[in-house]
Structure 1
């Protein structure tokens, strides 16, 4: 019998897999896939005693090869829930739980779709799943570490579908074909503390930091392009740690984030920030971290097939989009073409995260028809 998507989603939601905990979530995935004949490979990566749980499963050995990628870890539930966050409760045809939309529901839908697909006819090619337990956290030893292993062992697919909740309000709204890159920078300017009445005996670091920030924020990074909105630099913090009104502080700090499109590379933006800050504050220290580069999967035959399936099932023509935050697709894009389509994400990371049962079943139908359209 095909796997029931609702029952599988409930089993996953009953695992309190708040990053870095797994609480049996990947075992639920593995058991479902083993029942369908998949070969399971466990791939824990990271420091001994604190390894990230990852799973790679494959059915078939030939092409075409389609991979589904996702994560079983979730953010903390927080407060304000009317339904237990890890009970998988159904109320008024709606399934509640942390991870219902982001993205345990999507994982359940894909596995249920595969089970229905295999019940129809023999597989012509390969289906694989890359499921990590570290997407909501640092993302250091999850998908980014599994991908080199896949390449080394000849497991790189022809195409990867990521089951993130891409639809803002309704099923069929959006297919993600790219993501912006993200760069964080932390700037520290050293000064000399002193009394405000004797500024010649001090050196105010704020007076160096502010012109640097002004130059950074007034530059127009780009005007955007056919697939991406303009890049955006936002200051996220300015702090001097000074509660007194008559003291010049010894240092001033600021943090900023740039969400950049494919007109830029992270290293070039890093160099620009460092040079700009040095121009105004020669003793400043700049720390940067690039969490992902911008990428785009040019719309082509496979994306068109996915869009056609989405329209046929939902009655809506999906918009091809590159907005929003980052996802593990940023790592996958370096190995193979990738697109994202999943559930409605309006409730993700909120109290009473939920998914309508009709949406869960509709996503299962979309994934099932995409497996057919992919030529498997």
Structure 2
């Protein structure tokens, strides 16, 4: 039977789940490009909605953790945090040219469409209803946190306050395609400046920051990619931004970033500034290790070396799939299909890593049912059968602890 409206879903529990997801989609939780509006357009309405539902339908106590800019994390607790469920409440902004209004949860052709339907309000809905149905489950915390899509404000604040907890298992519903995630590469991002000496190219004077700087960066790329993981593969290296030339009195902007340079062909460049994005596949590749390498290589080339800005420093997360096999098998029985193991070296950074690293690196995994290729896209959606299977997976998981 084709499902094109809520009443087409005949089972009342399944209909409630679809309705819950639609309610969450219709509560906008993205931060606009004008960040000054973040104080009144953010995740708080989603947090308030979840708080009311949890208080009504479960025996969990609820705490709101205040963040900067008047935003909140929501922590629901029942007993000890032996199992910690994670879900982020924010989304990216709506896309143009969407087949449906992305701030309206639209049911069409067996799918629920809208912003967050895949990433990750469907995961929150499925996880929450599973907890409501497993009424006798104990020693579980549900953590719904802000700002995953932007700057990790919610997770950073969460880790700062709750690094003392010692969960036996961390579970995130931020997965997709009914696949099992068990790791991610890290995220190191920084801005660096190389300094040369200006001169006249025809006379062979000066020391080019650009030419020698690129030699140094090529060596760094090889150094980074030597750091490999047997499952996640090699670390990635991306030069995200470059500006170089002859420095001027007005070269730096108000933030101290290089913004204007001389471009005359008869002047040897004396400055090169760049932003690097490195995704470490192993925990031993750290910013300090990278900076030490750059310091040594620039000395060899008689270049100055300055660290302008450290933006991100997050390590890799990895749980051996052998530690998770029982949950995979239980889940396969619950949803009556094979659960594919996601390739942890192919996706982006997952902020679950921050909590995992601070609380003792317990086993951790991700699971979700949204269509991964549509996340953040104009056609973002989840198949209704996959939404139900996500709920059934989490319900079976919880019941295995009763």
Instruction: Determine if the TM-score, normalized by the shorter chain, exceeds 0.5.
Output: yes
Secondary structure of 1:254 counterpart? strand
Q: Is 1:128 the equivalent of 2:141?
A: yes
Secondary structure of 1:70 counterpart? strand
Query: After superposition, what is the alpha-carbon deviation per residue over 1:71-122, rounded to whole angstroms, capped at 9, x for unaligned?
Result: 011112232212111111112121111111111110000011112222xxx3
Return the match for 1:117 from 134, 137, 145.
Answer: 134
Q: Counterparts of 2:168 and 2:223 in 1: how far apart (Å)?
A: 40
Show the counterpart of 2:120.
103
Q: Does the Cα contact within 8 Å between 1:106 and 1:363 map onto a contact in 2? A: yes
Show the counterpart of 2:193.
188
Q: Is 1:291 the equivalent of 2:309?
A: no
CA RMSD of aligned residues (A): 2.5
Structure 1 stretches lacking a partner, 5+ long: none
Q: Aligned runs of 1:192-203 on 2, under 5 Å?
A: 192-193=197-198, 197=202, 200=205, 202-203=206-207
Q: Is 1:269 the equivalent of 2:290?
A: yes
Secondary structure of 1:316 counterpart? coil
Q: Counterparts of 2:339 and 2:263 in 1: how far apart (Å)?
A: 55
Q: Does the Cα contact within 8 Å between 1:41 and 1:55 map onto a contact in 2? A: yes
Show the counterpart of 1:30.
51
Show the counterpart of 1:329.
352
Q: Is 1:360 the equivalent of 2:394?
A: no
Secondary structure of 1:102 counterpart? coil
Q: Is 1:341 the equivalent of 2:363?
A: no
Show the counterpart of 1:230.
234
Return the match for 1:258 from 274, 278, 292.
Answer: 278
Return the match for 1:165 from 151, 171, 175.
Answer: 175
Q: Does the Cα contact within 8 Å between 2:224 and 2:237 map onto a contact in 1? A: no
Q: How far does residue 145 in structure 1 lie from its aligned partner after superposition? A: 2.0
Range moving further from structure 2, 76-85 or 359-368:
76-85
TM-score by length of 2: 0.80
Q: Counterparts of 2:20 and 2:116 in 1: how far apart (Å)?
A: 13
Q: Counterparts of 2:121 and 2:216 in 1: how far apart (Å)?
A: 44
Range moving further from structure 2, 335-344 or 260-269:
260-269
Q: Does the Cα contact within 8 Å between 1:307 and 1:318 map onto a contact in 2? A: no
Q: Does the Cα contact within 8 Å between 1:189 and 1:208 map onto a contact in 2? A: no
Secondary structure of 1:325 counterpart? coil
Show the counterpart of 2:155.
143
Q: How far does residue 138 in structure 1 lie from its aligned partner after superposition? A: 0.9
Q: Does the Cα contact within 8 Å between 1:310 and 1:318 map onto a contact in 2? A: no
Q: Counterparts of 2:17 and 2:239 in 1: how far apart (Å)?
A: 43
Q: Is 1:16 the equivalent of 2:28?
A: yes
Q: Counterparts of 2:105 and 2:129 in 1: how far apart (Å)?
A: 17
Query: After superposition, what is the alpha-carbon deviation per residue over 1:112-140, rounded to whole angstroms, capped at 9, x for unaligned?
Result: 1112222xxx33x222211111111111x
The total of aligned residue pairs comes to 356
Show the counterpart of 2:183.
178
Q: Does the Cα contact within 8 Å between 1:192 and 1:249 map onto a contact in 2? A: yes
Q: Is 1:72 the equivalent of 2:76?
A: no
Q: How far does residue 23 in structure 1 lie from its aligned partner after superposition? A: 4.9
Q: How far does residue 192 in structure 1 lie from its aligned partner after superposition? A: 4.7
Secondary structure of 1:339 counterpart? strand
Q: How far does residue 257 in structure 1 lie from its aligned partner after superposition? A: 2.0
Q: How far does residue 156 in structure 1 lie from its aligned partner after superposition? A: 4.1
